[in-house]
């Protein structure tokens, strides 16, 4: 909670210490992949009804926020 307040997030963050949620969302790396101890960088655009609208495998960290925001704007129209 302190982290979210310190960084001004307006929503709670999940701390998935046992990786249960990561497994469900398919972000675990295989043992033979590079950096298997870290999850894949995946973003899910989820609508207010809880439906996954789009899945992004993040390749360009700097450009990713703009891509997601553009898709959010498109969905809102």
Q: What is the pLDDT of residues 14-54, one digit of tens each?
A: 889 899 999 999 999 999 999 999 999 999 999 889 899 99
Question: Same domain, yes or no, for 10 and 30?
Answer: yes
Question: Same domain, yes or no, for 1 and 36?
Answer: yes
Question: Same domain, yes or no, for 23 and 34?
Answer: yes
pLDDT of residue 60: 94
Question: Same domain, yes or no, for 18 and 45?
Answer: no
Entry pTM: 0.71
Question: Same domain, yes or no, for 33 and 63?
Answer: no
Range of the domain at 56: 41-77
pLDDT of residue 15: 87
Question: Same domain, yes or no, for 13 and 28?
Answer: yes
Question: Same domain, yes or no, for 36 and 46?
Answer: no
Its sign, for the CA torsion 63, 35, 51, 21, is: negative
38-52 burial, b for 16+ CB within 10 Å, e for fewer?
ebeeeeeeeeeeeee
Q: How many domains does the chain have?
A: 2
pLDDT of residue 69: 95
DSSP E strands: which ranges in 7-76? 42-46, 52-57
């Amino acid at each position: 909670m302190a982290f979210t307040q310190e960084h001004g997030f307006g929503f709670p963050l999940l701390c998935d210490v046992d990786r249960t949620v990561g497994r469900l969302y398919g972000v675990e790396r295989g043992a033979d992949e590079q950096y298997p101890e870290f999850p894949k960088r995946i973003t899910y655009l989820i609508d207010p009804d809880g439906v996954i609208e789009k899945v992004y495998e993040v390749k360009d960290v700097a450009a990713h926020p703009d891509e997601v925001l553009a898709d959010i704007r498109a969905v809102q129209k």
